[in-house]
Amino acid sequence: MLSQSAKDGFDTLLMQSLKTSLTPSGEESGVMVIAAEDAEAIADSQIVVLTVSSYLFRAMVMFYFTPNADTRAHFARLNHLELDAMSEQTFMDAIAEGGNLCCGILNRDLGNFFPHIGMSTPNVIDKQCASYLQKLNCEHIQHFAVEMPQSPRFYVSLCVSTYADIDFEVDANAAASETGELELF
Amino acid sequence: MSTMVNQMLFLLVGVLLSGLPLLWLLRRRVVRMRDMVGKEQVNLLQHNVQEVLAQQQEGFAAQQQELEALRHENDQRLASTQRETETVVAQLSAKNSTNFARVLENCDASQETITNLLGLMRTFERWHDDMNVLIQHNREMHRKNDEFALIVNQVIIVALNASIEAARAGSHGRGFAVVASEVRDLAQRAEKLSKSYRSNLYQNDLITTTTFQDLQAGGKMIIGAITGLDLINKKTKEALALAA
C-alpha cells in the first residue's frame, strides 16, 4: 500500500531528476515538468525503460522518444556533441544515458528513505508496449511532460509497484535545492 | 623628763609600726601552711598515679599486641585476596584471548562468506545476458509476425481478386467463388490472430524487460548490502587487531 504522501514523494523526486538530467546547460530557466493525463495520446515511437528496485517496491521509469531531427538536436546539445558527428549508435547511447542519469538521481534520492536499493541498466522497447502498463500491477502510474524552450516535448511515465506498506514524505523545497553532483560508482 | 617620755613614746610607736607588718606576714604564712597538703598525702597520690600509669601501660601493650595480630591477619587476608584476584585475572585474560581468537576466526569466516556472496554478481550478469537473449528472441518473433501479417494481407488481396475473377466467370466460376471466399475468411482469421499475437509480443516485451530489470536492480541492491557487510566486517577486524 502506497500512501498519498509516498506517491507525491515519488512524483516530486522524479520531476526534480528530470529537470536536472534532461536540460541542456544554459536552458535551465525555461524548463517545466508538468503532470500529463494519458500515455495513449503520446505520439512517440520508442521508450527507454529503467527500473529502480528495493525489496519493498519497484519503480519503472519510461522515457518516450522519437528518433527524429529535433530529438537528435536536443541530445546533441545535452551532451555537447556536434549534431553531424552524432552516429545512430551515439544518438541511442545518449538517449539511454539521459535515462540512466535521471534514474541515477532518483535512485540516490530514494536512498535517503530506503537504505537498500538498486538500479537497472536502460533498455529500449516499442512505444506500443505502453498500452499494457496495467499488466505490471502498478499501484501508482503517473505521466509527465517535460517542456523546454528549444526542444521537443518529452513524455515520461512513472509506474510504481509495492510489496509492503510504504509511507515517506519528501520536502519539495529541500529536494529542489539538493541538485548536487551525482556520484557514479 | 619630758624628753625622755617623748623618746619612750617614739620608741613605742616605732616598735608598733615595725611589728605590725611582721605580724601580718606571720599570719599569712600560718594560713599558707594550713592550705598545704601533707607529705603522706602526696606520697599516696604519687603511688596511685604510678599504679594507674602502670595499668594504662599494660593496657596499651595489650592493645598494641592485639593490633599487631589484627594487622598480621589482614596482611595475610590481603595476600590471599591478591593471589585469588591474580588467578581470576589470569583466567579472564586466557578466556579473553580465546574469545578474541574466536571472534577473529568468525570475522575470517564471515569474510569468506561475503567474498563468496559477492560472486553472486556473476549470477546477475548471467540473468542480464539471458534477458538480452530473450529480448533478441522477441524481436525475431516481432519480425516474423510482421512478415506473417504481410503474407496474410497478400492472401486477402489474392482472395479478393479470386472472388472478382470467379464473379466474371459467371455460373462456371461459382465453385471457385466459394473457395475464394473460404480463403478470404481464413486470411481474415489469420490477420486477427496475427494482431493478437503482436499485442502479446508487446506485452511480453514490457513484462520481460521490466522483470529482468527488477532482477538486475535487485541484484545490485543485494551486492550493495553485501558490500556494506564487507565494510563492517573489515572495520570490526581492524578494531579487534588494534585492541589485541
Q: Does a structural domain hold residue A185? A: no
Q: How far is B184 from chain A (nearest CA, A)?
A: 28
Tell whether A127 lies on the interface with B, counting CB pairs under 8 A.
no
CATH number at residue A37: 3.40.1550.10
Q: Does a structural domain hold residue A171? A: no
Q: Does a structural domain hold residue A37? A: yes
The whole domain housing A152 covers 4-162
Question: Is 70 exceeded by the pLDDT of residue A179?
Answer: no
Reported ipTM = 0.90
Q: Does a structural domain hold residue A118? A: yes
Q: Does a structural domain hold residue A183? A: no
Q: What is residue B200's predicted lDDT score, i.e. its pLDDT?
A: 94
Q: What is residue B151's predicted lDDT score, i.e. its pLDDT?
A: 94
Nearest chain B residue to A124, by CA: B209
Q: Does a structural domain hold residue A152? A: yes
Question: Is 50 exceeded by the pLDDT of residue A150?
Answer: yes
> C-alpha grid cell for residue B36?
598545704
Q: What is residue A185's predicted lDDT score, i.e. its pLDDT?
A: 41
A-B CB pairs within 8 A amount to 77
For residue A156, what pLDDT band results from cuts at 50, 70 and 90? very high
For residue A81, what pLDDT band results from cuts at 50, 70 and 90? confident
Residue B155 to residue A63: CA distance in whole angstroms:
38
The segments of chain B whose pLDDT lies below 50 read none
Question: Is 60 exceeded by the pLDDT of residue A181?
Answer: no
Tell whether A163 lies on the interface with B, counting CB pairs under 8 A.
no
**Which sign, positive or negative, has the C-alpha torsion B22, B27, B32, B37?**
positive
Q: What is residue B132's predicted lDDT score, i.e. its pLDDT?
A: 85
Count of structural domains within chain A: 1
What's the number of CA atoms in the CB half-sphere (13 Å) around residue B225?
Answer: 14
Residues 99 to 158 of B: which have CB under 8 A from any A CB? 128, 135
> C-alpha grid cell for residue A155?
513524455
Q: What is residue B237's predicted lDDT score, i.e. its pLDDT?
A: 87
Reported as type and span, the H/E element at residue A143 is: strand A140-147
**Which pTM value belongs to this model?**
0.73
For residue A184, what pLDDT band results from cuts at 50, 70 and 90? very low
Q: How far is A49 from chain B (nearest CA, A)?
A: 8
Q: What is residue A165's predicted lDDT score, i.e. its pLDDT?
A: 95
Q: Does a structural domain hold residue A44? A: yes
Specify which residues A33 forms β-bridges with. Answer: A146
For residue A176, what pLDDT band results from cuts at 50, 70 and 90? low
Q: Does a structural domain hold residue A168? A: no
For residue A19, what pLDDT band results from cuts at 50, 70 and 90? very high
Name which of B205, B206, B216 is nearest B137 in CA terms.
Answer: B205
End-to-end CA distance of chain B: 133
pLDDT digits (tens, 9 = 90+) for A24-52: 887 778 889 999 988 778 889 999 999 99
